[in-house]
Chain A
């Protein structure tokens, strides 16, 4: 049913404050999170590759800083995942409101 929306309608929809708010909210989370995880991940090969002696020092018992840093990447990935999944519930609500709004207007517009 949704396929028959006319193209002009998409442009109007894209300009609506409700939709802009959704796009902004999503970008607010996704952009910094993406830069953060890429930087955090690349810090591992860079630090290990260029400063192996420092990274070989013990962090916890026999566990080296390098291994602890590698394990922390798992924690980082799961933490960002949890944060995103939690935040995305809000995006879902916003998207559902826009969808509901849009379908109602379609019904109202019927003769």
Chain B
């Protein structure tokens, strides 16, 4: 019954978005249309779209579940995801819109001309987007298992992959933008609606709600979900939090699929307005995760949601390797990490069931699938632009080639990325790929952010600095994740789950070292032009 309701609601969402795609297809006949929606998206619309691009199912179901089980420690994740937008607002949104064209590599190679810099920047964009894409698509199979058990997980992955390809191939950025706007609206109304229902359950008494959250029955004793330390204990937990926080706060400013959204607005002013709206929406959403999570714990009860939970795709791993569950749990608990367990991500749907019954539950489940769809569409488009615009058009064809060829290559690249994501996530389903999200943030923070910041602010910064900086940030993130407990388990030689606290300084040091090594007069001369353009909008792409 619930499965049918979920599928019907999801079908309505798909129907609406396909109509939008059909309408958008007429406007995706040029590069500017395909990558940047003709730069005609308004600031408010782009704010909603950024929110839709940013909210993954992991932040909706995962954070809510984390808060339901670990209270404050789960909520702490949500805080970083909002604060991170201040870095986007202050440091990158406006200069990027003023000096860039379609990709992050455009901004970096604006003054650091040359094939090497552009190729390295495109490589880092492709790495980040593919890590994210695979994590999201593998998440589809985990979600399908939880929410639509009758539907096979392979069928769910293929369905999401095909829909995403339809949006991107036919509707380009305009369709992707509207899919994200619609999803963000659905997600936010689901979150605010559930929060209000939770408050209504406590007769709109905040004190009563908090009192209940501070005495949640768990077995024979009561737990205070408002106090820290339920999830992270001791020094390793603390250092993990700091490292993760650093990667989150800086990494968001280097996420190519978020940055690409700033090319869709007409001006730097509109780029700023869109971050402002995005911050209002994202903040409202993460505030409501507190009500949903604590509400799920107090109203539904921990026992009914499951013994413990985890905010990501780790569940699928356990589902496929039940034999290793005990060993993995023990090892993760010892190191103060989150313990993955099957029933986990169900806190929000169960809260909905506890409050209003099956129709709301079905709505929440359908929204969870829609959020994944919106995120993967943006990621595919970003990967396609890095390949077609940076690698094919700028490096292979040396800037030659007409609009028809370019669009053809962009669509072929999007198709290739989509098929690769479908195949890889079918092959990897059942494996714990949650570390890929942390890796993507670490690469963004360590490879992209130092180079973007130095290119915008340091006159002496050179091409060798940019390349060494990006490669050392990328290499350090990959190596440290490979040596960390999320990948190596108990044989880990690097103690932290997220490499940010080490790899971000390595990225900065690499960029500075490379600059001091070789002087680059040409790039120094271009600094004036970049500075004037980035600050005034003179010569900005229209």
Contacts and interface: CB of A to CB of B under 8 A. Distances in A.
B535 A73 contact: no
Interface in A1-47: 2-3, 5, 7, 10-11, 13-15, 19, 22-23, 26, 30, 33-34, 37-38, 41-42, 44-46
Interface in A53-72: 55-56, 61-64, 66-67, 70-71
B225 to A, nearest CB: 9
Interface in B223-263: 224, 226-229, 232-233, 235, 237-239, 241-242, 244-246, 249
B211 A49 contact: no
Contact of A55 (B228, B241, B525, B539): B228
A41 B536 contact: no
B242 A2 contact: no
Contact of A84 (B75, B76, B89, B210): B89
Given A10-B528, A41-B245, A70 B76 contact: yes
B73 to A, nearest CB: 8
Interface residues of A, number: 52
B539 A13 contact: no
Interface string B266-292: 000100100110011001001100000
Contacts of B533: 10
B219 interface: no
A45 B241 contact: yes
A61 to B, nearest CB: 6
Nearest to B229: A52
B242 A42 contact: yes
A8 to B, nearest CB: 10
Contacts of A19: 532, 535-536
Nearest to B213: A62
Given A14-B528, A22-B535, A62-B226, A49 B242 contact: yes
B254 to A, nearest CB: 15
A84 B90 contact: yes
Given A14-B532, A99-B538, A77 B242 contact: no
B195 to A, nearest CB: 14
7 contacts: A38-B87, A45-B238, A45-B241, A61-B211, A62-B210, A62-B226, A98-B536
Interface of A: 2-3, 5, 7, 10-11, 13-15, 19, 22-23, 26, 30, 33-34, 37-38, 41-42, 44-46, 48-50, 52, 55-56, 61-64, 66-67, 70-71, 73-74, 76-78, 80-81, 84-85, 88, 92, 95, 98-99, 102
